[in-house]
Amino acid sequence: MTIATLIAAGRLDERLLDAALARLPRARFVRWVDEGDAADIEVDADQSSIRATFEGWSGVDIIAHPPGPREKRLLVADMDSTIIGQECIDELADYAGFKPQVAAITERAMQGELDFAQALAERVALLKGLDVAVIEQCLAERIRPNPGAATLVRTMRAKGAETILVSGGFTAFVAPIAKQVGFDRFVANVLGIRDGKLTGRTEGRIVDSRIKHDELMEARARLGLMREATMAIGDGANDIALVTESGMGVAYRAKPALAAVADARLDHNDLSALLWAQGIPRADWVEA
């Protein structure tokens, strides 16, 4: 039997719960995590079968759990289109007059159609000569954390988990977002700057799929954690290695390539729903 959390924030009434149970083989209600929002059910099916049963059911997410403790001790998250609702490089490119070109490359890279490092170099090259002050302007005008992001991160930290923001984006954006949301630390690419303008190149190593995966593995080893004690969240093909290596790999509003291989999908509820998935009731949340 598998335990799964049914999540429909603010609308999980008895009728919806009964309808959910009727969809699943030999399913039974176990407990409310938060009445009206999330409930644990027991199902005689594996994780992939449970998820497939709820495919396309509007407003409802279901997250089946691997064996072991529910609360995770390590969270590693992608940033763009995951912790925040935007792709920073696309928004920055708009100030340079190249958003359509850059956004098209970004989309293909996140779908897994392009090599990430090559796609990054092509996009950054289009930013050459942009005044560095535009980064602050872009942050202030356009970049916003997704709903529930800060509550998820701050609650997990309060419960003793380490939280890491890993991004194929840039430190100029990632550092302030990591601080705002509440991450312990961050890893990201560095934009080249000379005489107050972008050089059109990055500096140092490229934070790609492999680096994201390695950050998870290094943190897990340092903390002495089993795989099951970790959670990772992402949205694109560049997050596949990270998400599939974690104990609970979550695809958030994800591209098909990632959604197909993740342990769980969060398509309808906000990021705080991942606290219910860990069995943490709202009374224990650190609200942002």
151-167: per-residue pLDDT in tens? 999 999 999 999 999 99
H/E element holding 133? Answer: helix 133-142
Contacts of residue 277, defined as CB under 8 A and 6 or more positions apart, other chains included, come to 5, 7, 38, 63, 65, 70, 248, 264
- Chain centre to alpha carbon of residue 121: 24
Q: Give the chain's length.
A: 288
**pLDDT band at 24; cut points 50, 70, 90:** confident
**Catalytic amino acids?**
78, 80
Q: Quote the pTM value.
A: 0.95
Per-residue pLDDT averaged across 190-213, rounded?
A: 96
Structure tokens at 136: 């602050």
**Cα–Cα dist 148/70, whole Å:** 19
Q: Please state, rounded to an integer, the average pLDDT across all residues of the chain.
A: 94
Angle at 239 between CA 103 and CA 120, to 5 degrees: 40
| Predicted confidence (pLDDT) at residue 67 exceeds the cutoff of 80 | no
In the chain the domains, ranked by start, together with CATH numbers, are 1-65 (3.30.70)
Burial 84-97 (b: 16+ CB within 10 A, else e): bebbbbbbbbebbe
Which stretch of 21-25, 165-169, 190-194, 237-241 has the lowest confidence by average pLDDT? Answer: 21-25
Is it the case that residue 113 has pLDDT exceeding 80?
Answer: yes
pLDDT digits (tens, 9 = 90+) for 245-279: 999 999 999 999 999 999 999 999 999 999 999 99
**Mean per-residue pLDDT for 3-31?**
91
Handedness of CA 56, 16, 4, 221 (dihedral sign): positive
Looking at residue 125, its pLDDT comes to 95
| Average pLDDT for 233-242 | 96
Q: How would residue 132 be classed by pLDDT, with cut points 50, 70 and 90?
A: very high
pLDDT at 76: 98
